[in-house]
Copies of this chain bind each other. A is one copy, B any other.
Amino acid sequence: MKIIHIGILGYGVVGTGVAKLLKQKKQLLESRIGAVLKLKTIADIDTITDRGVDLGSTSLVSDANLIINDPKIDIIVETIGGKTIAKKFIMDSLENKKHVVTANKALLASFGNDLVKTARNNQVDLAFEASCGGCMPIIKSLKESLVANDINSMSAILNGTCNYILTKISRDGSGFEEALKSAQKLGYAEAEPSLDIDGYDTAHKLAILNSLAHGMEINLKDIHVEGIRNITPVDIQFARSFGYTIKLLAIGRIRGDYVEARVHPTMISSSNPLSHVDMSMNAIAIDADATGQTMLYGHGAGMMPTASAVLSDIADIARNIISGIKRRVPILGYPEDNIKPIRILPMDELYTRYYLRFEAQDHPGVLSKISGILGENNISIKSVHQKGRKTNGKVPVVMITHIAKEAWVQKALKQISKTDSIVGDPIVIRIEEMDQE
């Protein structure tokens, strides 16, 4: 049986998961693929700590170059993370004609186009199923299963930390800080949680998925990103009373010649299957022209779910090697020359519906003032709600708008904030309707 040699760079959580699966599923993989997937070398700065994997004949070394420069190694798995040394190692590996498998969404979102170019120049493969949605086969679906579809839109829950916190606030009525602490205690959130809760991790994944879905270059910098720090139990209760759930969504939608690309807390109706995706689970809903609405659901992170996705990439490349071919499916789903120059819609140009909550002064004329300013800015109000009790002479006023332009809404909110009608900043949560279009 042909032997395919694998090296792993980075023996942390994901690297350990990949090593475990390669060892535990040796027989299964050989039986399915018809080749031996031999884990030859792992490189990590820490060669001491026991990860609980019986390495057998696999070497654990501290010098990554022992993998990158090993002429026997066919596939290099990068599980270091981050954008500095991981980038150099991947570039060096590609230059050395190694196929590379990575789960590194931050790197792909920022430098993916360069990596794709280098892989092309060296005629090797670059695979990253584990970078988005953990074990969900979203990359393969976009590149292969949906090949005959134009994708109208994607809406996705791609960060388990945020989804856990929002579920927690929703179920227990706890505040954001309390829910974050609970997530940290359970290991769902980092001590420094900004990458997750401020939406950046979700944006990294959206940049990658947008490229695959719409055949465009990876574009992170133009994605609008908001996190979940401002979400309160009050807004979640209001949402529930309207039949909505609040989720941190990544939205990638074709809008004329542009693509909407935005990450922000979003109200979705309970008829949207994403509204039932709770705790740390992830899901991605895709609306494509032939398939209609579809959804993938699963663990978006974690040692073994992520390792499962890495293994599917390794198996794909191994099958190519056995067949004597490479680069069978283009890295971004389209041959590099056919990637289209699609631009991201400037956020000001977005049209959608809005939930607006103001802490209004409880005196006559306030409501008329607020709605007057909205009206002057072309924003028509669908409904006004005043629930809950007055606190210190202030009362929460919630308005749901009809479809309005983001620029109008931002301008109106600035004007409203300047009046003495409200206290503090208005809360703005965009509303997605499945049948909005």
A residues near B (Cβ < 8 Å) are 21, 25, 28-29, 31-34, 129, 134-137, 140-141, 144-150, 215, 273, 276-277, 288-299, 302, 304-305, 307-309, 311-312, 315-316, 319-320, 323-325, 328-330, 333-335, 338
Contacts and interface: CB of A to CB of B under 8 A. Distances in A.
Given A32-B334, A290-B308, A293-B298, A329 B325 contact: no
Given A25-B148, A148-B28, A291 B298 contact: yes
A333 B299 contact: no
Given A148-B21, A312-B145, A315-B148, A294 B135 contact: yes
Contacts of A129: 145
B141 A137 contact: yes
Contact of A315 (B136, B144, B295, B311): B144
Given A29-B148, A148-B315, A298 B292 contact: yes
Contacts of A147: 29, 32-33, 311-312, 315
Nearest to A323: B325
A302 B307 CA distance: 35
A391 to B, nearest CB: 35
Copies in the complex: 2
Interface of A is mostly: mixed
A31 B338 contact: yes
Contacts of A25: 148-150
B137 A290 contact: no
B295 A296 contact: yes
Given A140-B141, A273-B276, A291-B308, 16 more contacts: A31-B335, A134-B291, A136-B294, A137-B141, A145-B308, A147-B312, A148-B311, A148-B315, A149-B308, A273-B297, A290-B304, A290-B305, A290-B307, A295-B295, A295-B297, A324-B325
Contact of A288 (B134, B149, B308, B329): B308
A20 B168 CA distance: 47
Contacts of A323: 323, 325, 328
A198 to B, nearest CB: 27
Contacts of A294: 135-136, 296-299
A113 to B, nearest CB: 18
A308 B146 contact: yes
23 contacts: A32-B333, A33-B147, A135-B292, A136-B294, A140-B140, A140-B141, A140-B144, A140-B145, A145-B308, A145-B309, A145-B312, A148-B307, A149-B308, A276-B276, A290-B308, A291-B298, A292-B299, A292-B304, A294-B297, A295-B295, A295-B298, A323-B323, A323-B325
A25 B307 CA distance: 35
